[in-house]
Structure 1
Amino acid sequence: MPDSFKGSASASEAATAMARGVRQVFAEAEVLQLPFADGGEGTLDALLAAWGRTAESVEVFDAIGRPVTARYGRSSDGRIGVIEAAQANGLPQVADQPLQPLRADSWGVGLIARELLADPHCEEILLCIGGSATTDGGTGLLGALGVRFLDEEAQPVRPGGEGLARIAAIDTAELDPRARAVRWRIAVDVENPLTGPRGAAAVFGPQKGATAEQVQLLDTGLENLAGSLATLGELDPQQLQTAPGFGAAGGMPVSLSVLLGAEILPGAQMVAEAVGLEAALAQADLVLTGEGSLDTQSLDGKVVHAVRRYAPASAAVVVIAGAVQLSPAQCRAAGLAGAFSIAAGPAGLDELLCRAPELIEDAAAQVCGLLQHSVGS
């Protein structure tokens, strides 16, 4: 049950390599491959692999309005739709142009949602929002679903973060009724609030190309958006500005929470529930997980944390990682049986990246060799 080893192996490739390593030692073992993710990059592929599904695609727009093909997915029964927002509003999509933090918007993400909402069998949308180029508070996404954000003269404000400060009213009369009928869950991997020194603009705006002056404009705009949303929902605007996680992906959760009743939760928990992780692990004797680097962040809401949480107490949970930055004592305190690096000897990063699947397989075989010796079989 590994996460991806970024730059070298997808979660699915890592899981397959681990399975090969297990079978080198335990040829008759029942091996379950369950690629995992924490709501960020790779979550769509991890869920589709768990469900035995392939991705679908739709023509939408990137964060600066250019046509782009976006991938999305559905569960095996069609009830759950999965969106990786970065397929439409991601930074990599616009890396070929100077970044436009005030203009960039999430309209394309809303077009993916429209595709799912057109299916009457869809009952739930899982929205993974990491890696965005936008700071528009989710207004673009909702605009694609029919919501109108208006200025004092009842005219639509400009798309993107630059229009947020001019919002005086929010018109939901044309909101797609299906958008309110389905359940929305948003995967976040940060706890930043919407505004302030730890808010969406201040912390993530510079990564999206915002200058100090633009950060202030975006922060002021998000504050105004919170006020308009609070008026619409008879809420406390201060709570909307300070709620943990509302600053993720340029403030996207705040609008979806108020207007669509979206639930905000840690990405790893969302994926765990979607794939039925607890039931899948119930009979496990050994659980192999891993990622590119095992460090203290791995134990706080990430993949390793979720695997450890859902694995039965009788199972040994072992981490295989590109780099292990935790001490044996820290691993034991975290409930891990052990952690092993795929770097068996001196090697450059390029070599490790190129040989990652092979090295993951070797490490898994080593772990199973120890287990075989310890049980005397």
Structure 2
Amino acid sequence: MIRVKIVIAPDAFKGSSSAFQIASTMEAGIRTVHPHAEIVQLPMADGGEGTMEILVQATGGSFIEVPVHDPLSRSIHARYGVLGDGQTAVIELAEASGLALLKSEEKNPLIASTFGTGELIRHALGSGYRQFIICLGGSATNDAGSGMLQALGMKLLDESGAELPLGGVHLSKLASIDDAGFHSSIRESSFIIAGDVRNPLCGEHGASLVYGPQKGASSEAVKQLDLALAHFAEGIYKHTGIDVANLPGSGAAGGTGAALLAFFDAAMHAGAKLVMDRIGFEEHIVGADWILTGEGRLDSQTGSGKVIKAICDAARGQRIPVIAVCGSIDASSAYTSELGLRAGFSLVPGPCSVEEAIDHTDEWLLDRIVHIFSLL
């Protein structure tokens, strides 16, 4: 009997299935053809939604639930993770400040706030954690992390000395920053940013213009927010000497990257690579015959720090062929070959709507995997 080892390492299919669900469906398809294969599931993420769960589960960690405020300041419960080392807290911005927490008609990046994310950090600091991984992605906010700072005791003041209300639009009225009450434990803690966004805070490629419309911002609101964040960047520069306006990654998660870089001395890491390092990816794939990966869409952005690119880079060193199965593919064979893929497939059997693809993801994915591994 020929033994085969297959590593399954997909990202989530956003809006459809988690990385864990996708991996399970992929394994079921493979076992239809190779019932005795050695299969290693390594669900992946790039620093966005789902990263915390993958890191916690892979390291045998745990979750802590905390009462916080959502992007519109309503009371909710959200979690942060603690890795298996018992020392590292993982804060996922989408947990307390995510777009998925809002109904479509509730989206309002003018006033949405990262205050709840700050509350999660505050609780973890109060519980004694001093090592942090902050996962940026899926935010409903465009406040440059100002709400997070306010939750941790920083005062953002207008000309009259009054504290600014929560929300990015109010940053246009910033006159001074008072950090006397900023949580003292932050200075004795280390922070790593996990994410794949390298956009600056302001301008044509900044947080407001690129991502604001996805969060419900009108063209007028986008202009307001970009000006407000530029003004905030000036205030940060005066206070810290750090020019965050054009720093790569400062525009991540509605500009939350800027606050982390300026006030937390955070180090920015490519999210997919960080996940791979933490779960021991390169050790797990030793001796694999194939690696099977995937994400919601394979396109020109895949090569910019996404999961598929990171996996291909790791596999290249061990000469392991990689196959990707995605919700949709908008890339030539030359591009997929350049990424390092042996082949890339869409799971959809024919023309369909996004809604249909989401509804049939498991069924169509299973069928596609059976076809691929029957051929192999």
Q: TM-score, normalised by structure 2?
A: 0.88
- Does 1:322 pair with 2:330? no
1:275 CA drift (Å): 2.2
Provide the identity percentage.
39
- Where 1:291 maps in the other structure, the secondary structure is coil
Q: Deviations over 1:15-35 (max 9, x none)?
A: 112223333344443321111
Q: Deviations over 1:95-140 (max 9, x none)?
A: 26544333221111101112222232x3422222222222221111
- Does 1:49 pair with 2:57? yes
In the alignment, which residue of structure 1 is the partner of 2:217?
Answer: 210
When structure 1 is superposed on structure 2, of 203-212 and 75-84 the one drifting more is 203-212
- Does 1:81 pair with 2:89? yes
In the alignment, which residue of structure 2 is the partner of 1:353?
Answer: 358
- Does 1:3 pair with 2:11? yes
In structure 1, distance between residues paired with 2:180 and 2:255? 23
In structure 1, distance between residues paired with 2:172 and 2:344? 49
- Does 1:295 pair with 2:299? yes
Q: Where does 1:230-269 land on structure 2 (aligned, <5 Å)?
A: 230-235=237-242, 237=243, 240-269=244-273
* Residue 166 (structure 1) aligned to one of 160, 169, 173: 173
- Where 2:108 maps in the other structure, the secondary structure is coil
- Where 1:216 maps in the other structure, the secondary structure is helix
Q: TM-score, normalised by structure 1?
A: 0.87
Return closer, same or farther for 1:220/1:30 CA change in 2, 3 Å cut-off.
same
Letter of the aligned partner of 1:78 in structure 2? G
- Mark the runs of 5 or more structure 2 residues left unpaired by the alignment: 1-8
> Do the aligned residues in 2 keep the contact of 1:317 with 1:338 (CA within 8 Å)?
yes
Q: Where does 1:61-100 land on structure 2 (aligned, <5 Å)?
A: 61-95=69-103, 97-100=105-108
- Where 2:327 maps in the other structure, the secondary structure is strand
1:212 CA drift (Å): 4.1
Letter of the aligned partner of 2:11 in structure 1? D
Return closer, same or farther for 1:22/1:205 CA change in 2, 3 Å cut-off.
closer
Return closer, same or farther for 1:330/1:220 CA change in 2, 3 Å cut-off.
closer
How many equivalent residue pairs? 367
Return closer, same or farther for 1:195/1:362 CA change in 2, 3 Å cut-off.
same
In the alignment, which residue of structure 2 is the partner of 1:310?
Answer: 314
In the alignment, which residue of structure 1 is the partner of 2:339?
Answer: 334
In the alignment, which residue of structure 2 is the partner of 1:151?
Answer: 158
When structure 1 is superposed on structure 2, of 241-250 and 199-208 the one drifting more is 199-208
Q: Where does 1:3-42 land on structure 2 (aligned, <5 Å)?
A: 3-42=11-50
Q: Deviations over 1:210-229 (max 9, x none)?
A: 34443333222222221222
- Where 1:186 maps in the other structure, the secondary structure is strand
In structure 1, distance between residues paired with 2:354 and 2:104? 26
In the alignment, which residue of structure 2 is the partner of 1:195?
Answer: 202
In structure 2, distance between residues paired with 1:162 and 1:348? 36
> Do the aligned residues in 2 keep the contact of 1:107 with 1:144 (CA within 8 Å)?
yes
In structure 1, distance between residues paired with 2:218 and 2:367? 47
- Where 1:104 maps in the other structure, the secondary structure is coil
1:161 CA drift (Å): 1.6
Letter of the aligned partner of 1:259 in structure 2? F
Letter of the aligned partner of 1:166 in structure 2? K
In the alignment, which residue of structure 1 is the partner of 2:6?
Answer: none
In the alignment, which residue of structure 2 is the partner of 1:124?
Answer: 131
> Do the aligned residues in 2 keep the contact of 1:18 with 1:361 (CA within 8 Å)?
yes
Letter of the aligned partner of 1:137 in structure 2? A
Letter of the aligned partner of 1:110 in structure 2? G
> Do the aligned residues in 1 keep the contact of 2:299 with 2:329 (CA within 8 Å)?
yes
1:61 CA drift (Å): 0.6
1:167 CA drift (Å): 2.1
> Do the aligned residues in 1 keep the contact of 2:164 with 2:174 (CA within 8 Å)?
yes
In structure 1, distance between residues paired with 2:308 and 2:106? 36
> Do the aligned residues in 2 keep the contact of 1:35 with 1:49 (CA within 8 Å)?
no
In structure 1, distance between residues paired with 2:117 and 2:254? 13
1:288 CA drift (Å): 0.7
